Amino acid sequence: MTADNENSGASRRAFLKGAVAAGGAVAGAGMARAAEPDPLITEVQYWATGFGDAVDETPYGMPIRFESDVIRRNVEWLTADTISSINFTPIHALDGTITPQGCAFERHHSGAIELKKEDYRLMINGLVDKPLVFTYEDLERFPRENHVYFCECAANTGMEWAGAQLNGAQFTHGMIHNMEYSGVSLRTLLTEAGLETTGDLSDKWVYVEGADASSNGRSIPMEKALDDVLVAFKANGEALRKEHGYPVRLVVPGWEGNMWVKWLRRVEVTDQAIESREETSKYTDTMEDGTSRKWTWVMDAKSVVTSPSPQAPIKHGPGPLVITGLAWSGHGAITRVDVSTDGGKNWQQARLAAEGQSKALSRFYLEIDWDGSEMLLQSRAHDETGYVQPSKDALRDVRGENSIYHNNCIQTWWVKENGEAENVEVS
Amino acid sequence: AADAKRIGLGREALPEEIAAWDLDVAPDGTGLPVGSGSVLDGEEVFIAQCAVCHGDFAEGVGNWPKLAGGDGTLADEDPLKTVGSYWPYLSTAWDYVHRSMPYGAAQTLSTDETYAIVAYILYSNFIVEDDFVLSNENFLEVEMPNANGFIVDDRPETEYPRFSEAACMEDCKDSVEITMRAAVLDVTPEDEGEAEA
């Protein structure tokens, strides 16, 4: 049976290759009549006569092996080692909006730690009525909320500031995932510790840190902490993955991924920002004149065409083509996405697969009839505040090329006549 | 009123527990423990604990972070951002070293060792003399060169109005030329999955 399987894989590859070759010939002709009967139809295949796997084969399943290229990838030269490093979500191969946790990107500063629920403690201290310690079990007894949000690394697309560098949507835009979180609002936990004696809340902060060696401490203004910040323990229906903060992480809707502290161990109410390493040395954005922005928390509206793209070339030849991608904004819901096939000379409105949700990924589609000529594909997101995703030149006009973070520019893919696509910049 | 909303979960944190975990140091020195360390002591600890990655003079080894140098480069094409050239507050250096360094063996430095290492990093950046002793008492007297180099996020003023104008839909530019190609740089990892697909 294994041998059959392999053979069938080989013939399928040959079939796909043949289809690419034949694509040109059938363009415009609609469905061509097959020259000879397809043996995949006329011959009984092994899966149509024998058994498949039993239900006790896979207590917790992985994707079928033919999808083995839909995986996180690392770019070695980006960081000094792979412990304080980043990998990338294969957004070029995904559809819809929910990111499968198993291939959702990771960013650690001292590795993905293993912290079991029994060993987990969350402390709330500082300017509160009563400092508290919670166990994991305590957290599950608070009233719960469910929300879908994107988590985008502040450095997503950061390698592209000075030009077109990495050749694939996974690498240029894959420091992002989008999950349905279940957890307790931070407001609920702060209320439990009590803010009665804290005084004026408008000038207060919370400092949040993780249980890992890097700690990843960040300061969050109290207004945000009491608004929509979530202390989450489930994502996409199941426990957080180890690498995403098991058993508890912070979810900070719309704000840069660094603030989504994993393995959350402490929340301290303070009367000033701590100005930790992750909000001074890092996650500050240097402008052309050498001054730097700090506290650039919100991720602005952004989008990218995920297919076609360098890792997802057009293999079917001219004719009907689905252009698809993702759009998101830290300021609220996506209201519209425009797509250009000529490098921004002309635009047409794409179709949102669903009404935009606040601070979550939106999927867009534009179905076209591709005539086989070159395209310069771009997408442009609009959010509910009226903000329109800018070009890279427009951003560089304001910031220069050294701000590292917060690159939400319009991306261009050069789709060639053979269907391959390349990351380019255009005038 | 807020009390009424309390559910009654968790238990009071003990002072020892708070002291063990609440180690952060704020720019005004809040959180700094009593202690001190000299540049000379710092050099010894730094060579033993830090130099393998950060270099004998905090200048960095290979791709590991450079902690010294880069003074006056922030507006250059390739700025070198170090504790001396970039970091606004000394509190951050103390706090970060104490809690998260050495990389792979964090939280092994004593209070005095941390003062000494921070003094040595200051010396490596030509901010203090070689006889300097850093303590909780003189901590705030150290002037960080880039203390005034930061502004609070000003995108609401400098970007959002500009990027909220009606978008052009037709005949938006006369011509479009490709000005840069990623394939020319060729630094993207090869697609290992391809062979199996």
State phi, psi for A396 to the nearest 5 degrees: -65, -30
C-beta atoms of A133 and B11 within 8 A: yes
Domain containing A385: what range? 302-424
Q: Are B139 and B90 in contact (CB under 8 A)?
A: yes
DSSP-derived secondary structure letter, A387? -
Q: Say yes or no: A279 and A354 in one domain.
A: no
Interface of B with A in 33-62 (CB under 8 A): 62
Q: Are residues A275 and A315 in the same domain?
A: no
- As a three-state string, the secondary structure of B33-62 is CCCEEEHHHHHHHHHHHCHHHHCCCCCCCC
Task: Decide the pairing of beta strands A121-126 and A264-270.
Answer: parallel
Which of A28-42, A114-128, B65-79, B145-159 has the lowest average pLDDT?
Answer: A28-42
* Span A175-224, pLDDT tens digits: 999 999 999 999 999 999 999 999 999 999 999 999 999 999 999 999 99
In contact, A183 and A138? CB cutoff 8 Å = no
| One domain for residues A278 and A317 | no
User: How does the average pLDDT of chain A come out, rounded?
Assistant: 93
A309 touches chain B (CB under 8 A): no
The pair of three-digit structure tokens given for residue B41, joined into one six-digit string: 């002591």
- The answer for B 106-135 residues in CB contact with A (under 8 A) is 106-107
Whether residue A257 sits in one domain with residue A360? no
The answer to the question of residue A77 being in a domain is no
Q: Tell me: do A420 and A309 sit in the same domain.
A: yes
- The domain boundary, picked from A256, A276, A293, lies at A293
Residues in B closer than 8 angstroms to A166, CB to CB, are 182, 187-188
Assign A335 a pLDDT band (cuts: 50, 70, 90): very high
Q: In what helix (H) or strand (E) does residue A168 lie, and over which residues does it extend?
A: none
Contact between A175 and A107 under an 8 Å Cβ cutoff? The reply is yes
- Rounded mean pLDDT, A385-414: 97
HSE-up of residue A108 (Cα within 13 Å, Cβ side): 20
pLDDT digits (tens, 9 = 90+) for A348-373: 999 999 999 999 999 999 999 999 99
Asked if residues A281 and B92 have their Cβ atoms less than 8 Å apart, the reply is yes
**Tokens read off for A94:** 């995904």
Q: Are A421 and A309 in contact (CB under 8 A)?
A: yes
**pLDDT for position B114:** 98
Q: What is the pLDDT of residues B6-47, one digit of tens each?
A: 999 999 999 999 999 999 999 999 999 999 999 999 999 999
Are residues A325 and A260 both part of a single domain?
no
Confidence band for B195, pLDDT divided at 50, 70 and 90: very low
User: In chain B, whose CA is at the least distance from the CA of A301?
Assistant: B163
Q: What is the pLDDT of residue B193?
A: 43
List pLDDT tens digits, range A261-311.
999 999 999 999 999 999 999 999 999 999 999 999 999 999 999 999 999
In whole angstroms, give the CA distance from residue A124 to residue A270: 11
Given a contact cutoff of 8 angstroms between Cβ atoms, the answer to whether A383 and A331 are in contact is yes
* Count of the separate structural domains present in chain A: 3
Q: Do B86 and A168 touch (CB under 8 A)?
A: no
Give the closest of A68, A133, A398 to B10, CB-based.
Answer: A133
Asked if A138's CB is within 8 angstroms of B153's CB, the reply is no
Order the strands of the A132-135 sheet from edge to edge. Answer: A218-221, A205-210, A264-270, A121-126, A132-135, B11-12
Contact A346 B172 (CB under 8 A): yes
- Which of A274, A293, A312 corresponds to the end of one domain? A293
Same structural domain for residues A279 and A319? no
pLDDT, one tens digit per residue, over A20-43 is 444 444 444 456 788 999 999 999
The CATH code of the domain that includes A209 is 3.90.420.10
Nearest CA to A266 out of A201, A218, A233, A226 is that of A218
Residues A111 and A179 in one domain: yes
Q: What is the full DSSP assignment across chain B? A: -GGGG----SEEPPHHHHHHH-----TT-TTPPS-EEEHHHHHHHHHHHTHHHH-TTSS--TTSPP-S--TT-TTSSS----TTTT-S-HHHHHHHHHHH-STTSTT---HHHHHHHHHHHHHHTTSS-TT-EEETTTGGGPPPTTTT-EEE--HHHHTTTGGGSPPP-SS--S---EEEEHHHH--SPP-GGGGG-
Mean pLDDT of B178-189: 89
User: If you average pLDDT over residues A90-115, what whole number do you get?
Assistant: 98
B99 close to B117: Cβ distance less than 8 angstroms = no
Say whether residue A166 is in contact with chain B using an 8 A CB cutoff. Answer: yes
Domain presence at residue A192: yes
Tokens of A18: 């043949």
Residue A22: how many other CB atoms lie within 10 Å: 14
Q: Are residues A288 and A316 in the same domain?
A: no
**Percent residues over pLDDT 90 in chain B:** 90
- For residues A134 and A276, state if they share a domain: yes
> Could you say which of A138, A171, A414 has the minimum Cβ distance to residue B9?
A138
